[in-house]
Homo-oligomer: A and B are copies of this chain.
Amino acid sequence: MTTSAEPKGAASGLPPVHVIGTGLIGTSVGLALRATGVDVSLEDQSETSVALARDLGAGRITGEVAPGLVVVATPPDVAPTLVQEALRRWPEAVVTDVTSVKQVVLADIVRSGVPMDRYVGSHPMAGRERSGAISGRADLFEGRAWVLCPHETTQSRATELVGRLARATGAAVSTLSPHDHDAAVAAVSHVPQVAASLVAARLEHLSEQAIGLAGQGVRDVTRIAASDPGLWTQILSGNAPAVAAILRDLSADVTRVVAALEALGGEANVADAPGARAVLARSIADGNAGHSRIPGKHGAGTATYAVVSVVVDDSPGELARLLAEIGEEGVNLEDLRLDHGIGLPFGLAEVHVLPQVAGPLTEALQSRGWQIHG
């Protein structure tokens, strides 16, 4: 192996890594580590899967080297048992798992009574719509968060080593307690999923004409409602208390909004109208406040961009020409959304840019002949 092929491996200084479970995540961990020159061995209950992962270049299957770090990359139902076994099989190795919920896994390991100071749970926040070794990618974790969840007795060297593994795959490392991790993903991932699914379910029986009025708003709100029921049943089951806690609060909010709407919709309660309107206004305003907390690009904190909407003909190359000209103006695109009109051969490109360049960009595009919309 040439020096240029292993700069990250040299920098990571990782010991031999043993991966148990060669599905999407395990195989991708192996591929990412092999690309940096780390010695990776693989194990799976399926001989076909582990052979495929090896053939894809994710690591070797057998070997005499005792691993310094074991990654359990299996579904949550078997992960605790495999973590316990790994802690016993390799008395010096640090062991992590990569399941997307951390407290249930930790509780299972605690109940087993195995010494667990070499265990630290973790969660690479990367996934794909496909699964299995065949879907594994060396770059699956690049730019994604990888959360470390040390418990009370976790050795600092264990946390440090798993952090180095995560960084070697290109991930951005952060640290949360198992409880805080589960509460965080309940709020930023699991509850939004439930809400998107339930809102989308209400669209199922609309008439063709009614659903035809759907615009970009409902499209965005329900995009993740296309997710896999089997996978999400596992995720929600594994984080049931944290998800239920937020959903109970959300349910109380919905009930309050419904009561306000009933007060406004009925003839009898006109006296309640100002209070009911205040409930509605407060609900939307609280949403503004929560929305403003979501980090912008690159996790660099909240940024508010200006939007320049440009009419773009629906033909190959037109959007490219627009973006090329934006580049020629020296303007960096922060985000881009396409909003297609109904029954017309053009769309709107919503170009998100830093506020200070929106004015000059609008003028520049107009002088280049683009039609600015709105």
Using a CB–CB cutoff of 8 Å, the interface residues on chain A facing chain B are 125, 128, 135, 137, 139-140, 142-145, 147, 170, 172, 174-176, 180, 183-185, 187-189, 191-204, 206-207, 209-215, 217-230, 232-233, 236-237, 240-241, 243-244, 246-251, 253-255, 257-258, 261-262, 264-265, 273, 276-277, 280-295, 297-299, 311, 314-328, 330-333, 335-338, 340-344, 346-348, 371, 373-374
Contacts and interface: CB of A to CB of B under 8 A. Distances in A.
Copies of this chain present in the complex amount to 2
Contacts of A374: 128, 135, 137, 140
Contacts of A255: 251
Contact of A244 (B128, B183, B262): B262
Nearest to A240: B265
B249 A202 contact: yes
Given A188-B210, A225-B287, A198 B295 contact: no
Contact of A206 (B210, B293, B311): B293
Contacts of A237: 261, 264, 273, 276-277, 280
A182 to B, nearest CB: 10
Contact of A342 (B143, B253, B291, B316): B143
A101 to B, nearest CB: 11
Please indicate which of the listed interface residues A246, A284, A341 has the most CB atoms of chain B within 10 Å of its own CB: A284
A286 B204 contact: yes
